[in-house]
Amino acid sequence: MNPIPEQKIHDTLANANLQLAIYDATARLMHKRRTALDNPLAADFEAWREQANRIKRHTIENLDHYLEQLEQNLVHNGGKVIWARDATEAADFILKLAKDNNALRLVKSKSMTTEEIDLNERLEHHRLDVVETDLGEYILQLAHQRPYHIVAPALHMTRYQVADIFTERLGVAREVVIEKQTMIARAKLREKFLTADIGITGANFLIADSGAVVVVENEGNARLSSSAPRIQIAVAGLEKLIPRAQDLAIFLKILGRSATGQPLTVYTSFLAGPRRAGEIDGPEQFYLVLVDNGRTRVLADRDKRQALYCIRCGACLNHCPVYRKIGGHNYPWVYSGPIGAILSPLFHGVTEDPWLPSASSLCGACGEVCPVKIEIPKILLELRNDVVKAKQREGSGKLERWAFRIWAFFMRHPKLYEMAGMAAPAILPEASGGAWIQSVALPLRIGPLARWLSQRDLPPPAARSFRQQWRERRRQA
């Protein structure tokens, strides 16, 4: 069981520049989304959400059928499907493929699934040169950090920090103009694209009826990663499936708008196997690594399997008051924000980070903006319930259980409840300043409730209970 990273969270909250960077960037993304949805072209957005939800539900409930169909069509196109049960199997396959083909350099486009399985670390451990080619990911790779956000991985960095990283890691003169920083990265990355043996992409969607991998992006780096090297690998979670190519129209419309406020992202690439006879570009070998890594366990949970509908748009992060304060690096896994607070416990078990489902105000904003209508607040509540049950099984959380039992007893016996309310002011010591615990109940502040009470207090019991006051008013009326 991992403890809550209190010190790291305090440091984030105390860092005014970081707070401003997170707040500004998420506010910009929210504003862009809102503007995109206010456009008459998006008048049917709610209907698109409904349809996307229906398609995802149908696909996830028939995943075995569509996975087989995808494999058949992809093999028919000349590609190969690799089924990886976990991170090790996925990385082992890529490593062996690189060795068998004497590959030394791999270029990668942004992929949360490869982050999830620590692919870079595993390949670098075997002295392979792995280069991130998405600008944000490239900056983070140079800085040895993991993504801060699903869509905008370097959202927390200022251009001044990027200038320092480029100077230190690339040996270039300090440059703080963003366009010029982009040109520096572009020049460095061009050379990598041209000399890479293997290109790795993620997948936004896998289309069962055509055996195609669909990658959407804004920089063109995924397109270069998938066309320049002689070997192409797409790494994707099982849940990225959609049944038909025509379903894609809905998902492209909701993804760009929810993520960055774009009606469509700049590039949409369909990767459907290796180069065919007569074609002048494209890879000689094409592989799709389908990663389970806990997904089938989530699939088995009828109530929570809808978490697999996620299309990684990042909208729930931008709208989450908790993410906007604590940022992306205080979540225990690569997935942060509300979707991270449900994916991490679903993949790793609720006992690993039991505090995570409670890292939410349950304001409901995440569920309202989710383009595939995942009921995030409902799943968070169910996970909280699972945490309590797990604690009961372990025999911990006894104090909390007793407190609620006593509370429940009084709630079920209204007369006793009323008598306790009338007796409280006489029994309990008087408080000052409107805060009962801070002023009189000192033992509670140093006991097992100390952490809970450090951020909260109770008002002193009223001299006359609500019921007494209510009866008096009724009599006077």
Binding site for ligand SF4 (CB under 6 A): 150, 258, 310-316, 339, 369-372, 374
Nearer to ligand SF4, 203 or 311 (CB): 311
Minimum separation from the CB atom of position 52 to ligand SF4 (A): 9
Q: Shortest distance, CB of residue 374 to ligand SF4, whole angstroms?
A: 5
Please identify, using beta-carbon distances, which residue of 6 and 46 lies nearer to ligand SF4.
Answer: 46
Q: Tokens at residue 473, please? A: 């008013």
Interatomic CA distance for residues 369 and 149, integer angstroms: 16
Look up tokens 């006879």; give the residue: 277
Cα first-last separation, the chain: 58
For the CB of residue 426, give the shortest distance to ligand SF4 in the complex, in Å. Answer: 51
Looking at the Cβ atoms of 79 and 314, the one nearer to ligand SF4 is 314
Nearer to ligand SF4, 90 or 310 (CB): 310
HSE-CB of 235 using CA atoms within 13 angstroms: 30
Which CB atom, from 379 or from 387, has the smaller least distance to ligand SF4? 379
In terms of CB distance, is 283 or 332 closer to ligand SF4?
332
**Cα dihedral 278, 279, 280, 283 in deg (nearest 10):** -130
**Nearest distance, CB of residue 371 and ligand SF4, angstroms:** 6
The minimum distance between CB 338 and ligand SF4, in angstroms, equals 6
Residue 65 burial (CB count, 10 A): 13
CB atoms within 10 A of CB 32: 16
> How far, in Å, CA of 45 to CA of 49, rounded?
6
Q: Which is nearer to ligand SF4, 197 or 247 (CB)?
A: 247
Burial 70-80 (b: 16+ CB within 10 A, else e): bbebbeebebb
Least separation in angstroms between CB 312 and ligand SF4 = 5
Return the sign of the alpha-carbon dihedral for residues 347, 287, 246, 260. positive
Give least dist CB 222 to ligand SF4, A.
Answer: 19
Nearer to ligand SF4, 185 or 315 (CB): 315
Looking from the CA of 303 toward its CB, the CA atoms found within 13 Å total 11
Shortest distance (Å) from residue 265 CB to ligand SF4 = 14
3-state helix, strand, coil in the chain (%, to 5): 55, 10, 35
CA angle 453, 457, 458 (to 5 degrees): 130
258 or 285: CB nearest ligand SF4:
258
The DSSP secondary structure of 287-309, one letter per residue, reads EEEEE-TTHHHHHT-TTTGGGGG
C-alpha dihedral sign at 213, 215, 221, 224: positive
CA distance 163 to 171: 11
Q: Give the separation between CA 46 and CA 465, rounded to whole angstroms.
A: 47
Token pair for 458: 């109770």
Q: Which is nearer to ligand SF4, 258 or 330 (CB)?
A: 258
- CB 87 to ligand SF4: min, Å: 21
CB of 76 to ligand SF4, least distance (A): 30
